Amino acid sequence: MRFTQSSLPFLTLLSVVFAVPSKDPAPEVKESINPPRGWTLRSAAPSHHTIELRIGLPQPSFPVLEKHLYEVSDPFHERYGQHLTKAEVEALAAPHQESIDLVSEWLATHSIGESDIRRSPARDWVTIKIPITLAEKMLDTTYHVWTHDASGDSILRTTSYSLPKHLHPHIDVIQPTTMFARFKGYRSTIHDIDRSPSLPAYTGDSTNSGAVIDPSCNTTITISCLQQLYSVPSDFTPSAHVGNSIGVTGYLEKFANRQDLQSFYADQRPEAVGSTFNFVSVKGGLNDQNLSNAGGEADLDVQFAFGLSFPVNSTFFSTAGHPPFIPDINTPMDTNEPYADWLDFILAQEKPPLAISTSYGDDEQFLTVGVPWFQKTVPESFARRVCAGFAQLGARGVSLVFSSGDGGVGDGDDNPATQTCLTNDGKNQTKFIPEFPASCPFVTAVGGTESIEPEIGVFFSGGGFSNFFARPSYQDKAVGKFLSALPKGTFEGLFNPNGRAIPDVAAQGVGFRIFLRGQIVSMAGTSASSPTFTGIVALLNDVRLRAGQPPLGFLNPLLYTIPEGFNDITIGNNPGCGTKGFNATTGWDAVTGLGTPNFSKLRDLVIRKY
C-alpha cells in the first residue's frame, strides 16, 4: 500500500514527551577533538568576523524514513518505485516540536529571534549568521584561524564546543566547529590534463555489444567510445518529453562553460549543437562565462553527463564558496560545508533532477583517540546528518551518484607510495581512508577503469570500507563473498570489514577528450567515471519512463540484485598507504564494485517485474 499524506498523523503521535528539566546554565562539552594532523593554529579568530552556524536537530522518525526508502527501492518489494512525496519525506525528517521549542528558547536568550533564523524544509536544520564573538559565547568556546600545511587553505574552527546540558538530547550537531576536512575535487580527481592529439580515423566495427571497439578508445575516451564500451545502441535516442532529467553539482567556483560545451558537441555530439543546460545558483553560486575562467572539473562533468544523455533535460548547480578563508574579510566564507548548503536547496525543490552526479568529496579521515576508536576529522555526527539528507532525496526518487575518490585505499596523494595514511593519536598507525560522501550507504559510489579489451581497474580508483557506516544489507552477499575470499590476515587492522563497502560500480576514468578554455585536453579521474555512470542512469530512466514506470530512484538495492547487468572487471588494484591495495576479482570487489554498466542488458533488467 502506498504511503500517503493521510497516513502521516500517526507519525506525529510518535513524539516522545520529554520532561523539560530546570535549565542548567553551566555548559557541558558536546563534541571535542584533538588538533588534527596537518593543520597549524595561526591566530585567534578576528572578532569582527561573521560566521554561519548550522544546528542539526534530531530526526526521531528517520528509522521510519529509512524503512520506506528501502521498500520503494527494493525490486522484490510490492512498493518498489512508489516514491514518497516532498511533504511525506519532510514529515519523516522533522524533529520533535520539543526540540524546536527548546532550541528556539536557547537562541532567544542570546537575542536571536525567529526572523534571524533560516530553517530547512523539514525544520531539522537551523541556520544563523552571527558575529564570531557571539558564537564563542553561545558555545563556550574559542575559535582560531587554522591553516592547512600542504595547501595553505585557512579556516575558522575550534577543537571543542559546549551546550547547556538540557540541550544535548535536542541538538545532534553544530558546525562549523570541529570539522577540519578539506572539501575538494579529490585533488587528483582531475588526474591529468594533457594536450590531446587529433583523434585517429575510425577503424573499428562497433556492434554495440562490446565485441569490437574502436581501437582509438584505448587512448582517447569519447561519447562514441562509451556507447560502444557500454553497449548503448547507436540508434538509441532518449526522449525529451517524458519528464526525465539529469543534474551535475559544481563547487569551489569551478564554472561550466557553454562555449566549451558547444565545441564539445560539435566534436562528439553534433545533434546537440545549439542546446545547453539550465543553470541554477545555490547560495549565490556563480557560473562565470569568461572562457579563461572555465573549470576543468565542471567542463568534464557537464560535457560527458549531458553529452551521453542528450536530449534529456539537464541542470548544472553551482554552490557558492571557495577556500581559502581570508581572515580579514567580514564574510562567512569559511564554513566549507557545501553538501549541507546544496542539500538545503535541493530538498526544498518540488522536482529535483532524477539523476545527479557529484565529483567532490572529503577523506573519511580519523584520529585514534581512546574510545570510541575513531574520532573523525569529518565528525561522524555531521557525516550522518548529510547522509540522512541523501536518503531523503532517494526516497523521493532521485538517484545520487558520487565519485569514489582518486587515492586508491589511501589519502588522495597522487603517488600511492608516499601516502602516509597515519592516525593522529601519536601512535602513527597506518589505516586505509575511504571517501565521504561515497561511503554513505544511500548513494551510489563509482570507481574508475581504464583500457579496453580488457577493461581494467585503474590504480587510483577509490575503494574500501567505511569507518562511519555499517555495511547495508543489500551488500551482504556480494561483499561477504569478496571478504571470505581474501587470504587470512590480508590488511588485518587496516580497514573495517563490517563497514559500508565502496565502490558500488565503475566506469572509464582515463583519457577523456574534453574542451577546456577553447582547447582540447585529456582528463582523468573518478570525476569522469561519475558523470559517465550518471549519464547511463539517465538513459535507463528514459527506458522506465517510456514504459510507464517510475524513475529508478535510490539505485543500490536494485544494482546488487542484477550483477548480470554489469561487465565484471577482474584485473587491476588500487594501491595506497604503502600497500598494493585491493585486487579486482570475479564478482564485487573494492576496486570496481560490481563492474561497468552494460546498457543493453540493463535496459531489460530495469523494467522486468521481479
Binding residues: 568-569, 587, 589
Written as nine digits, the cell of 464 is 574500501
The residue from 31, 90, 297, 299 that is catalytic is: 297
The packing angle between helices 380-395 and 338-347, to 10°, is 30
| CB neighbour list of residue 438: distance below 8 Å, 6 or more residues apart | 361, 402, 403, 404, 405, 445, 462, 502, 503
Instruction: Show contacts of 331-336: CB within 8 Å, 24+ apart.
Output: 331/50, 332/49, 332/50, 332/51, 332/52, 332/129, 334/51, 334/154, 334/155, 334/156, 334/176, 335/51, 335/52, 335/54, 335/175, 335/176, 336/155, 336/176, 336/179, 336/182, 336/183
Does 27 sit behind a cis peptide bond, omega within 30 degrees of 0 on the bond before it? no
Task: Write down the H helix ranges in 151-233.
Answer: 223-229
Measured CA to CA, the distance from residue 536 to residue 246 in angstroms comes to: 10
Across 188-244, the runs of DSSP E, i.e. the strands, are 193-195
Question: Pairing state of beta strands 173-175 and 245-250?
Answer: unpaired
Q: Is 149 a catalytic residue?
A: no
Binding residues for Ca(2+): 568-569, 587, 589
Measured CA to CA, the distance from residue 317 to residue 346 in angstroms comes to: 10
Whether 148 contacts 39, CB under 8 Å: yes
- Cα dihedral 50→51→57→63 (10° resolution): 150
Measured CA to CA, the distance from residue 174 to residue 381 in angstroms comes to: 9
The residue from 439, 527, 529, 530 that is catalytic is: 527
Q: Is 435 a catalytic residue?
A: no
Per DSSP, the three-state class of 470 is: strand
Q: DSSP letter at 292?
A: G
The residue from 301, 334, 411, 435 that is catalytic is: 301
Q: Is 301 a catalytic residue?
A: yes
Measured CA to CA, the distance from residue 465 to residue 445 in angstroms comes to: 12
Whether 425 contacts 367, CB under 8 Å: yes
Measured CA to CA, the distance from residue 489 to residue 68 in angstroms comes to: 38
Which residues are part of the catalytic machinery? 297, 301, 527
